[in-house]
Amino acid sequence: MKLKLLIYFFILLLINCLACTNLNVRHLTKRPIQINTPQEIKMRYLNFIFTARYGEKQTYIIKGNTFFKNIPMWASYIQELWLTAYLCNEEGKVLAKELKVYQSQPIPKKGLPFSFKLKIKKTSYPINYITFGYSFKLSPNANYKESLISHPLSGEKDLIFYASQKAFLE
């Protein structure tokens, strides 16, 4: 009986802790939102060129293209790509977000198009900034497979490039 009570208490404590956590993007490059004006956010491995506009029912529509940069010369194929758009206040508190997961594909030279629809919940914080997050894995080609074992003595390396920048819990 005591064990069940202890487990129940632990679950309630965990739920309470999760309810109190917030996403924050203060460590990411963010820009003030300018409606119907082309904008750019430069991050470590991706540049985002976009335009924001108002949608209906307290929604922002963010459309644009993202371009890869600072990646290895051999990287030409996207194995995995997750992009997230964040609306936040000046301190970086995330007030709305949307995640997009992309299909595997060659890295497009003309940029990868994106479109986010961010619904704003009622909040006392002013929403005046936007930023993006990402997580991706690149390879030399579509059929490239990582080896199951490493080869430290031969110097062979897997040709997989992984990068990520996203919100954190506070």
Count how many domains the chain has.
1
Whichever domain contains 116, its CATH number is 2.60.40
Q: What percent of the chain has pLDDT over 90?
A: 59
Question: What is the structure's pLDDT at 14?
Answer: 44
Asked, for residue 60, whether it belongs to a domain, the answer is: yes
Tell me if 10 is assigned to some domain.
Answer: no
- Residue 152 pLDDT > 80, yes or no? no
pTM: 0.80
**Residue 5 counted as domain residue:** no
Question: Over the stretch 66-108, which tens digit does the pLDDT of each residue have?
Answer: 999 999 999 999 999 999 999 999 999 999 999 999 999 999 9
Within the chain, strands assigned E span 23-24, 31-32, 39-42, 46-54, 59-68, 77-88, 94-102, 105-106, 112-119, 129-139, 161-165, 168-169
Range of the domain at 45: 31-142+157-169
Residues 6+ apart with CB under 8 A from 127: 33, 87, 88, 89, 95, 96, 120
* Residue 6, domain member (yes or no): no
Report residue 155 as tokens.
Answer: 């110097």
18 is a domain residue: no
In a domain, 78, yes or no: yes
Between CA 42 and CA 159 the distance in angstroms is 25
69 in a domain, yes or no? yes
Give a yes or no: residue 162 inside a domain.
yes
CB atoms inside a 10 Å sphere around CB 143 = 7
Q: How many helical (H) and strand (E) elements, i.e. helices and strands, does the chain have?
A: 1, 12
> What is the C-alpha to C-alpha distance for residues 76 and 105, in angstroms, rounded to an integer?
9
